[in-house]
Amino acid sequence: MSKTTFSAIKADVGGFPGHATVHPKLMETAENNLKGSDILLDYHITHCGDDLELLMTHRQGEDSDEVHSLAWDTFKKATEVAKELGLYGAGQDLLSDAFSGNIRGMGPGIAEMEFTERKAEPLVAFMMDKTEPGAFNLPIFKTFADPFNTAGLVIDPSIHSGFTFEIWDIKESSRVFMDAPNEMYDILALIGAKGRFVIKRVFPKEGKLPTDEPVAVVSTEKLYQIAGEYVGKDDPVAVVRSQSGLPALGEVLEPYSHAFLVSGWMRGSHNGPIMPVGVDQARCTRFDGPPRVIAVGFQIKDGKMGMASDLFDDPAYDPAREESALIANYMRRHGPFEPHRLPLEDMEYTTLPKVMTKLKGRFESVE
């Protein structure tokens, strides 16, 4: 059978209220636009915070004109509804009016992977709001390279040899392939700098699965780099396959039991703790956050997604939510001080440089 492609494409085309969540009418509009499609095998529409998330399966491969224009058209229609309802920031992430066949670089975030379906194919789509693509570095690294997270790396012969990481330097637009565990410390030297080096894909090594098909993929679009100025949030998505020659579902989810710090909270300018939540709780309220992550799981069969499972809608993640709320308090008390506020270089596209411009003539040299 031909390969299956899973495409997660998202955009903020209007928030309700403010940047908190997505109005049900936008979800309905997206549903109506995708349901008649003869390109898709299946789809699931959801939201994380103010981002409208289109999860789709098809046989068109990655970067398909048809699939991308369907997503673009869906976001355009949702924008129209957002305008009618007076929703906040209608069309915010659609940076261009002219669509030319590929949605990359146009504003929406994209994580796509084409793969040969196994007999049973468990797959999780992760979606985050109020943060940036590098927020996935820590959890993806833990799942595929940290034996304290993933027991299988130690005890399952089929994953014992580790995984290959494709890491992008998003400032230089270049990439490098690195092997775990042998290059683990060098990998960490890069991806610990999560504002610049981002895990894009993970590949298996020799074993049960084809080594040229990704088992994890992350969206890496940085809106400010596309638009040349701060225009909104690059809230990322990731798709991860699991089990049987890959980390188990529980090993894929385990990193989110810790409310690790990510950047992108309030005005894209603050560090804060990620909070794993069920879809209904993916509403960014406190100080426009704290940053949220949702996980929706599927068993893909012949390209069909089947039922969706809201994986963080689970008391097992209560301690992580509490940890996040507690750390949010602690961070907030720093107000405008680093490291709650991002370092200057990351604020480049927000208001601070304008303060510097204003004061330029008033700075005197000192010995």
Task: By CB under 5 A, name the one of 50, 53, 121, 251 that touches Mg ion.
Answer: 50
- CB 349 to ligand F6R: min, Å: 12
Cα atoms in the 13 Å half-sphere on the side-chain side of 194: 21
Identify which range of 63-71, 164-172, 260-268, 272-280 contacts ligand F6R by CB under 6 A. Answer: 260-268
- From the candidates 12, 50, 146, 234, give the one annotated as an active-site residue: 12
For 360, which DSSP code? G
Residues 6+ apart with CB under 8 A from 241: 113, 115, 121, 122, 123, 215, 216
- From the candidates 233, 234, 235, 256, give the one annotated as an active-site residue: 233
Is 234 a binding residue for Mg ion by CB under 5 A? The answer is no
230 is catalytic: yes
- Binders of ligand F6R among residues 283 to 342 (CB under 6 A) are 288
Look at the chain and count its residues.
367
Cα separation, 309 vs 240, in Å, equals 14
Q: Between the CA of residue 25 and those of 21, 216, 263, what are the distances in Å?
A: 12, 31, 30
Comparing CB distances to Mg ion, the nearer of 49 and 139 is 49
Comparing CB distances to ligand F6R, the nearer of 266 and 274 is 266
Is 51 a binding residue for Mg ion by CB under 5 A? The answer is yes
233 is catalytic: yes
- Binders of ligand F6R among residues 265 to 294 (CB under 6 A) are 266-268, 288
User: Which of Mg ion, ligand F6R, none does residue 51 bind to, with CB < 5 to 8 Å depending on kind?
Assistant: Mg ion
Q: How many residues bind ligand F6R (CB under 6 A)?
A: 10
- From the candidates 3, 77, 230, 349, give the one annotated as an active-site residue: 230
Q: E strands along 28-97, which residues?
A: 40-48, 51-58
65 is catalytic: no
Cα separation, 61 vs 287, in Å, equals 39
Q: E strands along the chain, which residues?
A: 4-11, 40-48, 51-58, 109-115, 121-129, 163-169, 174-180, 197-204, 216-218, 237-241, 261-264, 270-273, 275-276, 292-300, 309-310
Cα separation, 320 vs 50, in Å, equals 22
Site string for ligand F6R, 43-72 (x = CB under 6 A): -------x----------------------
Is 15 a binding residue for Mg ion by CB under 5 A? The answer is yes
Identify which range of 6-14, 294-302, 306-314, 322-330 contacts Mg ion by CB under 5 A. Answer: 6-14
Alpha-carbon Rg for the chain in angstroms: 20
Cα separation, 78 vs 305, in Å, equals 23
Other C-beta atoms within 10 Å of 212: how many?
Answer: 8
Identify which range of 25-33, 42-50, 116-124, 194-202 contacts Mg ion by CB under 5 A. Answer: 42-50
User: Which of Mg ion, ligand F6R, none does residue 267 bind to, with CB < 5 to 8 Å depending on kind?
Assistant: ligand F6R
Residues that bind ligand F6R (CB under 6 A): 18-19, 50, 89, 130, 233, 266-268, 288
Residues that bind Mg ion (CB under 5 A): 12, 15, 19, 49-51, 89, 129, 233, 235
Active site residues: 12, 230, 233
